[in-house]
Chains A and B, each alone.
Chain A
Amino acid sequence: MTAILRDSELLRGRAVGAVFWRENQTENYVCIPPALIITDVSGGTWTIGNEYAQHGWQFYWNVLRNEVDTGELACKIEYHKRQLRILTRQGWKTWTMRPRGHKFNTPGYFV
């Protein structure tokens, strides 16, 4: 059995009611679904929630980062070259981290 050291170097995030620990960020081109989670470079753990909107046969689910709703709906979440992207009804959006000390209390936003 492989042990994992729970030290300060690990990436830590939350999803589906659990804390996820990872040594490294998620590999390139991993997509939710079918993956359950994506771990970004800052340790944020991404997944989709239970809320959705349906347009034709396409479903868009709420996008969660560490179990906090980002306010976006997407049909997929993808990680590539340290960038997290979501495919929304308006097209692709990329997650951008806010500068430290920014007035908003959320760590990032989609552009």
Chain B
Amino acid sequence: MREFTFGTTGNTTVAGATTLNALKPPAAPSINIEYLRHWVGQTANATSNQQEIELSQQAVAGSPALTSATPAKLKLQDPNASTITGGTAEAAGTAGINASTESTGANTVIWDDAFNVLNGYLKVLTPPETEIFPAGFANICRFWFPVAPTTLTSWHWGQNFREV
């Protein structure tokens, strides 16, 4: 099993209703992406309020722009890096965070949830619940804020996935 994680590496400011993590599986034939865990939290906040969070699949259209994010190994003894590399344009086989320009493609919700920003959000998936994005899939896996948070600063988020 090969498990990896990607997300923020420090306090991050979001623009508003923002794609936090975007990953597009590589072209087939290749590995499939199985998501194991999603989380988001705010390190500095004095005000309790509710925030919406969503996982969806989205077509890549327009000129999306993200910060490149290279997945990190969870198994440090693994001699090989992830098949997924960092990328800024939601290309196949790449991952990026904190979109500055969103894709204009159709968005299809997988699940939608809400959380209090003082407690953060953690979704750990049992085996029957894991989301699998297969190699060659046309859309990105989008972990995002559908609504702008009240406070835009000091966010942290991430996802763990497995290459299967």
Contacts and interface: CB of A to CB of B under 8 A. Distances in A.
Interface of A: 1-4, 6, 15-23, 26-27, 30, 32-38, 47-48, 50, 57, 59, 61
A18 B156 CA distance: 8
B11 interface: yes
Given A33-B124, A36-B40, A48-B122, 12 more contacts: A2-B46, A17-B9, A18-B11, A20-B44, A22-B45, A22-B118, A34-B123, A35-B121, A35-B122, A36-B115, A50-B160, A59-B124
Contact of B74 (A19, A50, A57, A61): A50
Contact of A33 (B40, B122, B153): B122
Given A16-B39, A33-B123, A50-B160, A26 B44 contact: no
B41 interface: yes
B50 interface: no
Interface in B105-134: 113, 115-116, 118-124, 126
A71 to B, nearest CB: 20
Given A4-B45, A21-B44, A37-B41, A61 B124 contact: yes
B30 interface: no
Contact residue range for chain B? 20 to 34
Nearest to B113: A34
B77 interface: no
Interface of B: 9-11, 37, 39-41, 43-47, 74, 113, 115-116, 118-124, 126, 150-153, 156, 158, 160
Contact of A35 (B43, B45, B74, B115): B115
A66 B76 CA distance: 22
Contacts of B43: 18-21
5 contacts: A4-B46, A22-B45, A35-B115, A57-B126, A59-B126
B121 to A, nearest CB: 6
Given A4-B46, A23-B46, A50-B74, A16 B158 contact: yes
A1 B121 contact: no
A17 B9 CA distance: 8
A4 B122 contact: no
